[in-house]
Homo-oligomer: A and B are copies of this chain.
Amino acid sequence: MVAEGKKGKVILAYSGGLDTSCILLWLIEQGYEVVAFMADVGQEEDFEAAKTKAMKCGAAGFFLEDLKREFVEQLIYPAVQCNAIYENVYLLGTSLARPVIARGMMEVALREGCDFVSHGCTGKGNDQVRFELAFYGLSPSIKVIAPWRLPEFYERFAGRSALLDYAAKNGIPVTQTAAKPWSTDENLFHISYEAGILEDPNTTPPDDMWKLTTSPLKAPEQPETLTIEWSRGLPTKVTKQDGTTVTDAVEVFLTLNALARKHGVGRIDIVENRFIGVKSRGCYESPAATILRVAHMDLEGMTLDRNVRALRDQFITTAFSQILYNGFFFSPEREFVTAAIPQSQKTVNGFTRLKLYKGNVIVEGRDSDEGLYDAKFSSMDEQGGFEPTATSGFIDISSIRIKAWAVANGKRGQSGVAVGDVYNRE
C-alpha cells in the first residue's frame, strides 16, 4: 500500500452514503489525502451524521457549503426566465444543481490546494459528464478520479455486497435500511427517481415512491389560489390565498414548493435521452418549478413581443436546455446563449393569478402595465387600432407567394382541389 497522501490531495463529492464512503476509504488506500465536500442545495440530509462518517472514514477535512441561494438566484431563475425544459418535459432539476455544486467544490479545492477531484457517479449517467465538464470549465488543469470508470475499482466492487463488506472491514457503520429499488437525487428544485424497478418502462411507479408531492388523488378537495408577481421575468412576490406574501427569492421558491407539494403538482414519468446516447426512464417531482413555468409562460403571452418569443423559444430555450442537460454550463456556448436572456425579459412585468387543485395549475387571470396587450386592437366587437381595409392589403400581399405557387403547381397538374388531397401521407 502506498503511504497516505503520497499521491496528492483529492476533494471528493461526498454524500454520506455507502458508495462515496467506500470511495473515500479506497482513495486513501490508494495513497491519496482526501477531503470530503458536501453541498447543501436543499436536499433532505443529515449533514452532521455525514460529517462524522467522513471523518471516521479518514477524511482529512470536511467541507459543507450552503449553496441554496446561489442555486435559486443564479441557476433556477434564469432557467425559469427562458422556460428551460429538456425534451419538452423534464425541468432539469439535477442539471441545474450541478454547476452550483461543482463551483462550490472547486472553490474549496482551490483553497485547500487539491490536485484531484473525485465523485461517485456511475459510468453510464449524465452526472459524471456534468460534474467533470464543470470541473474542467472552472479549472482546466484539474485531474478527475472517477472510480466507477476505473477497472481496478469497478471490478473489485462489482456488487453491493462487495461494498458492504469493504465498509464493514474498515469499520464503517452502514446504517442501511432496506434499500429502495430505485435511485434518487434530491435538491430544493426536485427529486428524481431512476434505475431499479423503474428500468422496465411499463412498470407504474408505486404510490409510495413519490416523496415530495401528495398524490393528486389524495390532494385537498378544496382548490387554493395564489398570485405571483414578476419583474423582468423574475418572480418577485407571492401572495397566498390568505393574503400573506413573500418576496425573498429563496422564500418565494420554497413557498411555491410547499403549495405545489400539498396540491400534487409537478410529477412526471418519462423516457429521456441521456447525453451519452442511451435512453433511460426517469420519474421526477418538480413542484415549485411546475407552477413557475405555467405562470411565467402565461405572463409572457401578455408581455412578450410575438417575434421575440418565437426567436427565444426556438433558439435560446432549446439551446440553453440542451447545454444544461448535457453539462456544458461552463462553456462558451452557455455564455453566448444566456447573453440574450435579460433583453428578452425586460417587458415581462406583471402578475399571474393561479388556482392549484389536485395536480392542476390553472391560470385564472393575469395583467401587466406593459401595454403590449391592448384590447382595442384585438376586439372583435369594435373598430379600433387600425382600419379593417388594411387587413385586405395585408392578405393581398401575403398571398402573392401563395398564388404564384398555386399557379406553378397547377402547371404541373398538382392543383390541391383537383387532385383531391389536403395532405399526402405516405
Contact A386 B405 (CB under 8 A): no
* Chain A 367-411 per-residue mask, 1 if CB under 8 angstroms from chain B, else 0: 100111111011111010111111111111111111111111011
Contact A394 B389 (CB under 8 A): no
Contact A397 B277 (CB under 8 A): yes
* Chain A 324-358 per-residue mask, 1 if CB under 8 angstroms from chain B, else 0: 00001111110111111011100100000100011
Docked Cα-Cα span, A387 to B370, in Å, equals 36
17 example contacts (A-B, Cβ-Cβ < 8 A) are as follows A122-B380, A123-B391, A123-B392, A124-B385, A136-B406, A137-B402, A195-B379, A278-B378, A305-B401, A305-B405, A307-B328, A307-B333, A308-B333, A330-B416, A359-B360, A371-B408, A392-B393
Given contacts A372-B408, A406-B330, contact A154 B103 (CB under 8 A): no
Q: Is A236 an interface residue (CB 8 A)?
A: no
Docked Cα-Cα span, A99 to B416, in Å, equals 11
Q: Is A200 an interface residue (CB 8 A)?
A: yes
- Please state the number of chain copies in the assembly: 4
Q: Is A24 an interface residue (CB 8 A)?
A: no
Interface residues in A42-99 by Cβ distance below 8 A to B read 70, 73-75, 77-78, 83, 87-89, 99
* Chain A 301-330 per-residue mask, 1 if CB under 8 angstroms from chain B, else 0: 110011111111111001100100000111
Which residue of chain B has its CB nearest to the CB of A412?
A: B346
Docked Cα-Cα span, A281 to B301, in Å, equals 9
Docked Cα-Cα span, A395 to B119, in Å, equals 14
Which residues of chain B have C-beta atoms less than 8 A from A172's C-beta? none
Q: Is A23 an interface residue (CB 8 A)?
A: no
Q: Is A247 an interface residue (CB 8 A)?
A: no
Which residue of chain B has its CB nearest to the CB of A407?
A: B140
Q: Is A146 an interface residue (CB 8 A)?
A: yes
Q: Is A203 an interface residue (CB 8 A)?
A: yes
Which residues of chain B have C-beta atoms less than 8 A from A216's C-beta? 357-358, 360, 362
- 5 A-B pairs with the lowest CB-CB distances in the bound complex, closest first: A393-B393, A123-B388, A273-B306, A305-B332, A271-B301
Which residues of chain B have C-beta atoms less than 8 A from A195's C-beta? 379-381
Docked Cα-Cα span, A363 to B216, in Å, equals 13
Contact A416 B124 (CB under 8 A): no
Which of B217, B272, B330, B333 sits near A357, CB closer than 8 Å? Answer: B217
Contact B397 A391 (CB under 8 A): yes
Segment from A31-39, A125-133, A237-245 that makes contact with B:
A125-133
Which residue of chain B has its CB nearest to the CB of A360?
A: B359
Which residue of chain B has its CB nearest to the CB of A331?
A: B402
Which of B313, B377, B402 sits near A88, CB closer than 8 Å? Answer: B313
